[in-house]
């Protein structure tokens, strides 16, 4: 069977070489899979992609032999799952790989904002070594609001409690035993938005969570509060976030994801205007956002630790091996 990996980094390649798919043809590329290059890989029967590869209806149609899409991620909003299912194509994910990894990065963003680490660095690069305007605040006794108390959210809760923070969480399905053990409180969504000093997002992206945090939510937040997003860019309304920052209502944001981030990797498309006017306008808003002094941004690397990448590749290859053996581990 022909197996094609996309979005491979040098470390991914090294990890893939340790895997064995006897009697099967395995190829890898650093390219993202897209509608423009899908026909180049039309013989592939199994593909493995990362979130930057968009497996659309057109991509699926261009790959007539495709039987399995093994995404190296927990989320799968980059795949047209309904159309894949209609074609009998299975989709395998990596449900667990970096709960602690993403939670640690969440607090890297929080601390960068709370203690003005990023702002201090930017100033020092300009030769400004004064401390004026750099006073931070303690996390102890502040209220941390966690939207999404799944595996990642639970690790965030543990770290927050270790800092002495008061932690509250919004999650549709409550686990009272878990809240007792981790010492946090479940609250409704509106209460969390209104009463948290720092809000952090840990939900999947879908039609229900699109712009989950928008104009109304930013208006309801405490003045001087902060928002952290390591989930998906589309969970937050970029324009509303920019307005909340510019008005001073929001003190700062820490972002590992932004709307349209995949286009930031496709400079040629943007340069030659191969995108819609709406897309270009959205990207312009995102770039304006990232230029704000009280915005700390990392380019979707919350998952990106050596240990997490090893777990992702190991699980993905195990998913593929399972499929080759007639099963489908971690499939939707």
Here the tokens at position 249 are 């209502």
Question: How far out from the chain centre does Cα 117 lie?
Answer: 22
Contact 233, 298 (CB under 8 A): no
- Indicate the SS3 state at residue 328: coil
- Indicate the SS3 state at residue 121: helix
Question: How far out from the chain centre does Cα 294 lie?
Answer: 20
Of 97, 180, 187, which is closest to residue 147 (Cα–Cα)? 187
Catalytic residues, which ones?
Answer: 232, 261, 300
303 CB contacts (<8 Å, ≥6 apart)? 97, 98, 101, 102, 105, 312
Q: How far apart are CA 124 and CA 135, in angstroms?
A: 15
**Helix residue ranges, H only, the chain:** 10-17, 57-61, 81-86, 99-114, 117-125, 151-162, 176-182, 189-195, 215-220, 238-246, 267-271, 277-290, 306-324
Place of tokens 């069977």: 1
Backbone angles phi, psi at 204, to 5 degrees: -75, 160
Contact 139, 110 (CB under 8 A): yes
């Amino acid at each position: 069977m022909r197996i094609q990996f996309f979005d491979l980094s040098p470390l991914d390649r090294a990890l893939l070489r340790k895997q064995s798919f006897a009697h099967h043809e395995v190829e890898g590329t650093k390219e993202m899979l897209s509608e423009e290059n899908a026909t180049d890989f039309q013989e592939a029967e199994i593909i493995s992609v990362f979130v930057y590869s968009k497996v659309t209806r057109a991509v699926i149609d261009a790959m007539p032999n495709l039987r399995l899409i093994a995404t190296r991620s927990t989320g799968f909003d980059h795949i047209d799952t309904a159309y894949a299912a209609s074609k009998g194509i299975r989709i395998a994910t990596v449900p667990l790989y970096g709960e602690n990894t993403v939670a640690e990065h969440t607090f890297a963003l929080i601390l960068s904002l709370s203690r003005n680490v990023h702002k201090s660095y930017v100033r020092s690069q300009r030769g400004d070594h004064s401390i004026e305007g750099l006073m931070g605040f303690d996390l102890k006794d502040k209220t941390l609001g966690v939207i999404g108390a799944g595996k990642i959210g639970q690790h965030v809760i543990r770290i927050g409690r270790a800092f002495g923070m008061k932690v509250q969480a919004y999650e549709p399905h409550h686990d009272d035993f878990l809240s007792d053990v981790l010492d946090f409180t479940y609250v409704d969504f509106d209460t969390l938005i209104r009463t948290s000093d720092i809000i952090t997002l840990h939900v999947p992206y879908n039609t229900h969570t699109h712009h989950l945090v928008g104009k109304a939510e930013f208006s309801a937040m405490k003045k001087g509060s902060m928002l952290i997003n390591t989930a998906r860019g589309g969970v937050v309304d970029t324009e509303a976030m920019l307005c909340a920052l510019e008005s001073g209502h929001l003190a700062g944001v820490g972002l590992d994801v932004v709307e349209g981030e995949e286009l930031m990797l496709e400079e040629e498309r943007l340069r030659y205007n191969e995108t819609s006017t709406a897309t270009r306008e959205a990207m312009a808003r995102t770039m304006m956002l990232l230029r704000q002094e009280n915005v700390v941004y990392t380019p979707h690397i919350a998952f990106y630790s050596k240990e997490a990448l090893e777990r992702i590749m190991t699980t993905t290859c195990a998913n593929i091996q399972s499929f080759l053996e007639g099963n489908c581990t971690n499939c939707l």
